[in-house]
A = this chain, B = another copy of it.
C-alpha cells in the first residue's frame, strides 16, 4: 500500500524537485502539495514540465490532509519549520525537514548564526541528522522507532554541508587530518541554490557570464559543516555563485597529520571506497580523476575526487552534487526510504544525463 506523503513549500525549487521525485517513486504517493503563494494554481501551470502529466493543485500550508499523511516533507525557510514540526509530530506524522531549523544540535549555535530563538530545542536531542552515508546508524534507529509507531523527525543536511562532508568525512574519520589548523572549503553553486525568488542577484543578466563569492566568512552553513566534521571554529567556508542552474562543487583543503603524509592517493581512494561501501550514491573516482557537476545533475549521486599536495602536506578533496537533488530533495527522499524500510536508493535517479 502506498505511503502517503505531503510536500509543504512545494512551489519552491527544492519543493518542486521533491514533487518530481515523489511522483516517480514506486512506494510514495503524493497526497498534498502546498504553497501559500500559489495556492489554487495547478502544478503544471507553475512548472510547465508537468504539462499533461499531473493534475496536482497547490493548496495552502494549513491543508488538513497533511495531518493524515504518513510523512511530510518541509521545504520551507528556516523558522517556518520551527512553527510546523511540533504539531505534525503530535499528529503522528513523520517529518523530513529540509530547512536549517533542526540541523544544529546546540540551540545556542542556532541562535547565534540565525539570530532567532529556537522554540523547540527539546526536539534537537531526538531528531536525526539526515545525511545517510554519514549518519546511517541514526537513520536505522529512526527506522526502528518508526516501525514501533513513533513519528520521527529528520533534519536533512544542507547542500554545501552535504558535498563538503561527503568529500572530507572519511579523511577526518580515518584520522588523516591534522588536529589543528583550518580546513578551507571553497564551494561553487549553481543559481538554483539562490532559490526561486526573483531579485537582482538571480536576474539572468546578473548571474550569466559572472562569478562571485558571497557570504564570505558569514555563511550559515559554516557551523553545520563544523558540526558534521567535529571541527568547531576551524572551518573557513567561502561559497561562490557561477552561471549554471544545478550543480554544486566543494573543494576542501585539509592539512594532513604527519602519519598520513606517507599515504598515496591510490591508498586514500581505496579507503574512501571502503568507507562508502554499500552506499550506491557516493562514487569515489580513481586517483587522477576529478568530479564534474554535470555528471550528477538531476541525479542523487555524489562524486568525490582526491589529490595530495606533498609539498604543502595537504589533502584536497572535491565533492560534486546536484544541489537540488542530493543537496536537498533527493537526500530527503533517501532518508525517507531508510525510515520507511525501503532500499536507500528506491525511486531515486542514479544516472545524470550523459550530456
Binding site for B on A (CB under 8 A): 13, 16-17, 19-20, 23-24, 47-54, 181-182, 184, 186, 188, 190-192, 196, 198-200, 202-214, 216-218, 233-236, 238, 240, 242-249, 251, 253, 255, 280, 283, 285, 289-299, 301, 303, 305, 307-309, 311-314, 316, 318, 320, 324, 350-355
Contacts and interface: CB of A to CB of B under 8 A. Distances in A.
A354 B245 contact: no
A294 B200 CA distance: 14
Nearest to A183: B312
Contact of A216 (B181, B202, B316): B316
A351 B23 contact: yes
Most buried by B among A182, A191, A214, A234: A182
A209 B209 CA distance: 9
19 contacts: A13-B355, A51-B283, A51-B301, A182-B313, A182-B314, A188-B240, A191-B205, A191-B208, A204-B243, A209-B293, A210-B292, A210-B294, A211-B249, A212-B292, A213-B290, A213-B291, A216-B318, A238-B318, A242-B243
A236 B23 CA distance: 41
A35 B246 CA distance: 30
Given A49-B299, A212-B249, A213-B249, 8 more contacts: A20-B354, A49-B353, A51-B303, A184-B253, A209-B247, A211-B247, A217-B307, A298-B353
A159 B192 CA distance: 29
B217 A294 contact: no
Contacts of A324: 355
Contact of A285 (B24, B51, B285): B51
Given A240-B188, A251-B240, A293-B212, A235 B205 contact: no
A312 B234 contact: yes
A305 B51 CA distance: 12
A17 B186 CA distance: 30
Nearest to A50: B351
A39 B210 CA distance: 26
Contact of A207 (B204, B313, B353): B204
Contacts of A299: 49
A325 to B, nearest CB: 9
Contacts of A233: 311-312
A37 to B, nearest CB: 12
A48 B302 CA distance: 12
A61 to B, nearest CB: 20
B47 A16 contact: no
A308 B217 contact: yes
B244 A210 contact: yes
